[in-house]
Structure 1
Amino acid sequence: MQRHTVIKPLLFSLSLAVSSYATAATECDGVALTPCPAPFDHQLPDPHQMLSWSQKDRVVGFRNDYRNYAGDVFHHGQAKPLARANNLLVDAQYQVNGHTYRLADYLKRENVAGMLVLKNGKVAYKYFAEGNTDTTLWTSRSVGKSVVSTLVGIAIKQGKIHSLDDNITAYEPELKGTAWDGVTLKQLIQHTSGVAWNEDYTNPNSDFAQLTQCEAQAGAYACVRNIVSHLKRAHPAGEQWSYSSGGAWLLGDVLERATGMSLAAYLQQTVWQPNGMASDGVWHAYQSGKHDVGAHGFNATLEDWGRFGEFILNEGRLHDGKQILPDNWVNDAATWTQAKDSVSAAHPEGIYGYQWWNNAIPANAQHVVPTAAEGLKHSLWALGIYGQIIMVNRAENLVIVQWSTWPQAEPSFSAQPLEAALMYSAIAQQLH
């Protein structure tokens, strides 16, 4: 997910029997999951057409991403149940453009397919639509970038990556002499590499569109690597912010090389099993067991999306209290880059950090309630096209997850993203 206008693999749990995998694979279209996610749609949309799917196709496609593409399973361990909050969210409302909208209105306006509100780590609200259930695996789109950036932090804590000040070529020496030569991991994770990348979701010839075509055919890894390796430099590194799924893919590749593990396996080992996630998930794989997609492709249940948000809320502490992120990592991740095009009148502090967004109510927003001053300040937003969201606000001890099928991949900020900021701020006030 980008902004053109700113206001505007596999490590299997030893506790699971081999026979259970065979049964699960048969039930889940060949994917080793127990239980098989529901609903199980039999007719899947063509992944070649992902950017032009109908609204109905998006619902089916997003909850069957784990079947539409090759994937690596990351298995859960001992589940930590989410308790029910005493103070439940019943309703909240906001105002924009002279109209007042309540929670039920918001769900319709945002085409919400699932929503979870965790206050103080407990479930204050949970909602499913379109037949989705507690076992549904919904695809992250670029929410996966925030998961990858978090795994980079864990790798630094473990010493597998030395520093964000390292050059990319320290991990990918074959990129010496390319546009990536001289770019640091910090510039890569903040999308200030200066390497040209066209993220236009409406242009069938954009770099992003070419990436999606690579993903829908055999040889995806070599295809995407060829695109990323031959990009040109547009700006000096560090000077200008420009959203890049190509750069995010490369960050995931660096992480896999540094850890010697696929993203799915590393996520399973470091977070998914020790943090009490309740269900298995699947990560879109370019080469099964070896290369997963750094830019997106994380598929998990609604509650486990929420558990990941709680992990960030708790500064990278597992539920047993062990901290596996570096000290101050979450603060650093939410220190928005001041590079050109990140800073604007709407967000003078910047809009992008370590693959997390600043989606607070714009400072210059008019005729909205809550106002910018009343909004969720210093919150981190993992955002994916068509309205996939994990919002983490440490000041309010609040995590909100949203699955959506917005009509546009990247609407104007004055539309769905603004209303999300308004509704989430209203929810925070309601549950304060």
Structure 2
Amino acid sequence: MRPITIKKSFSGLSVLALALLATAAQAAESKGPCGVQGLERCPQPFDKVLPAPKDMLTWDQATRVVGFRNTYRLYAGDVFSSHGAKPYPLAEAEHKLSDIQYTLEGKQHNLADYLANQSVTGLLVLKDGKVAYEHYAQGNTAQTLWTSRSVAKSVVSVLVGVALKEGKIKSLDDKVSTYVPELKGSEWQDVTLHQLMQHTSGVQWDENYASKDSDFSHMTQCEARPDPYDCVLQLVRSVKRKPGVKPGEVWSYNTGGAWLVGRVLENATGMTLAKYLESRIWSRYAMQQDGVWHALVPGKVDMGGHGFNATLRDWGRFGQFVLSGGQLPDGEKLLPDDWIVRSTHWTQAKGSVTAAAPNGQYGYQWWYNAPAANADSAPKRTATSDKTFWALGIFGQTIAINPAENLVVVQWSTWKNAETPSSLYDEQAVFVNAVSEALDR
């Protein structure tokens, strides 16, 4: 775009206002036609009117649809490219999922009920690596980049495993301050990477999505500012330790700590999360479309707690990669042989063990998810349902993986509330069990 010279006021606008408009136009053009520098193929739909990112937690459901499929351009972003590689094939399954039956709270439901109850905007079922069911709603398409929310934590967990196998991270027993010197002198200083990934740091963090005063809410406000990195770093460094709680003793979900997992990985590898994902998995597995990772400092710092944006089938391909234990199509293994087992060895720190999860509910940023023990639901269990592990994000985002069944289920949703009612999680678990049974007949 050619430089614009402003000589006088026009239509009531001051010279300064016009100059600011020109600067904004130049900045927008520098990002390219898709709103992100380096993203050459625009996702579809490409909505013209976008919501304010600072209001993300309070968007209504219709707004959330637009916001979630355009999150990749609501913030600064780093592209992770497939480099035009031939995508990992996802053939159509001969045995398609046509309908299912399940019981929730004593009532019988089918597939249509599930889509409505969960406010589903995208659903993909892969059985034996083949597409058994694929569904898009609310205008989403196969070219839509949908935001992951905390599903990204599980993506980061996988990348940590890759870095460990490559020797870029020496040990999960290393203190995180070894990799992130800014943490020295803070409550995070003596926390190990193992504890950070299991969310047992003992550092206080208010994850309340319904409170304007929670640490998580403050983080979303930081992310909407022009200088998000300094704001997020100051917020995360400032939190205190729970009185009398040592690292490893108490489990407490902590997106501030998850952001630090990403910082450890970036400093250990010398790459952003996007670039490391691109170079190790995205361009080699490979995926069908470029994705975007929410960046706090483009090209330097990405948001490790959330911010992964990709197509529904590429979410599924990532699930297949994990299901394989981290194996590329040519047979090369990118993850340590025991990484998935270690990642899904649930911590039994105080707070992790519940009636629904008697062995613990959280591993290396993967979840154990099962219906509440007193839930009137079916199928509450299957022969292998305890083998299923979950990447979960607020408002219903999901990747469920059951290696024993060779099953991957991906879900995009816009729940009315971030995490409530809890019966929505029960329904997800029951649904995956019902899918498993239906596809095994």
TM-score by length of 2: 0.91
1:62–1:139 Cα contact (<8 Å) kept: yes
How has the CA–CA distance of structure 1 residues 28 and 246 changed in structure 2, closer, same or farther, with 3 Å as cutoff? same
Amino acid at match of 1:250: L
Matched with 1:178 is 186
The answer on 1:318 being equivalent to 2:328 is: yes
Matched with 1:302 is 312
Aligned equivalent of 2:144, options 133, 136, 148: 136
Matched with 1:216 is 224
Matched with 1:271 is 281
Match of 1:406, SS?
A: coil
Match of 1:368, SS?
A: coil
Aligned equivalent of 1:41, options 32, 47, 68: 47
Matched with 1:18 is none
Matched with 2:93 is 85
Amino acid at match of 2:279: Q
Matched with 2:297 is 287
Matched with 2:396 is 387
Question: Following TM superposition, by how much is the alpha carbon of 1:47 offset from its aligned partner in structure 2, in angstroms?
Answer: 0.5
What do residues 16-60 of structure 1 show as CA deviations (whole Å, max 9, x unaligned)? xxxxxx999643135432321000100001111000001111000
Amino acid at match of 2:276: Y
Match of 1:331, SS?
A: helix
The answer on 1:53 being equivalent to 2:55 is: no
1:334–1:378 Cα contact (<8 Å) kept: no
Greater shift, 108-117 or 367-376, is seen at 367-376
State the Cα RMSD in Å.
Answer: 1.5
Question: Following TM superposition, by how much is the alpha carbon of 1:81 offset from its aligned partner in structure 2, in angstroms?
Answer: 2.5
2:176–2:190 Cα contact (<8 Å) kept: yes
1:154–1:325 Cα contact (<8 Å) kept: yes
The answer on 1:232 being equivalent to 2:240 is: yes
> Residues 87-102 of structure 1: matches in 2 within 5 Å?
87-102=95-110
Aligned equivalent of 1:250, options 239, 242, 260: 260
Match of 1:250, SS?
A: helix
| Unaligned ranges ≥5, structure 2 | 1-27
Greater shift, 302-311 or 312-321, is seen at 312-321
2:33–2:40 Cα contact (<8 Å) kept: no
1:360–1:379 Cα contact (<8 Å) kept: no
Distance 1:209 1:111 in 2: 23
Matched with 2:68 is 62
Question: Following TM superposition, by how much is the alpha carbon of 1:378 offset from its aligned partner in structure 2, in angstroms?
Answer: 1.7
Question: Following TM superposition, by how much is the alpha carbon of 1:92 offset from its aligned partner in structure 2, in angstroms?
Answer: 0.8
Matched with 1:19 is none
2:345–2:363 Cα contact (<8 Å) kept: yes
What do residues 266-309 of structure 1 show as CA deviations (whole Å, max 9, x unaligned)? 00001100111110000000000000000000000000000000
How has the CA–CA distance of structure 1 residues 371 and 29 changed in structure 2, closer, same or farther, with 3 Å as cutoff? closer
Matched with 1:333 is 343
What do residues 140-159 of structure 1 show as CA deviations (whole Å, max 9, x unaligned)? 00000000011011000000
What do residues 151-190 of structure 1 show as CA deviations (whole Å, max 9, x unaligned)? 0110000000001011111112332221012110000000
Match of 1:273, SS?
A: helix
The answer on 1:190 being equivalent to 2:198 is: yes
Aligned equivalent of 1:107, options 93, 115, 119: 115
Greater Rg by CA: 2
Greater shift, 364-373 or 388-397, is seen at 364-373
Amino acid at match of 2:324: N
Amino acid at match of 2:333: Q
TM-score by length of 1: 0.92
Matched with 1:401 is 410
Distance 1:57 1:128 in 2: 17
Distance 1:132 1:173 in 2: 42
Distance 2:66 2:109 in 1: 28
Match of 1:148, SS?
A: helix
How has the CA–CA distance of structure 1 residues 24 and 88 changed in structure 2, closer, same or farther, with 3 Å as cutoff? farther
Distance 1:119 1:24 in 2: 42
Match of 1:73, SS?
A: strand
Question: Following TM superposition, by how much is the alpha carbon of 1:361 offset from its aligned partner in structure 2, in angstroms?
Answer: 3.0
Sequence identity percentage: 54
Distance 1:318 1:337 in 2: 29
How has the CA–CA distance of structure 1 residues 83 and 218 changed in structure 2, closer, same or farther, with 3 Å as cutoff? same
How has the CA–CA distance of structure 1 residues 254 and 134 changed in structure 2, closer, same or farther, with 3 Å as cutoff? same
Amino acid at match of 2:408: V
Distance 2:29 2:124 in 1: 31
Distance 2:101 2:246 in 1: 45
2:202–2:250 Cα contact (<8 Å) kept: yes
What do residues 54-78 of structure 1 show as CA deviations (whole Å, max 9, x unaligned)? 1111000000001111000000141
> Residues 23-38 of structure 1: matches in 2 within 5 Å?
26-38=32-44
Aligned equivalent of 2:379, options 370, 393, 396: 370
Distance 1:174 1:246 in 2: 14
The answer on 1:117 being equivalent to 2:146 is: no
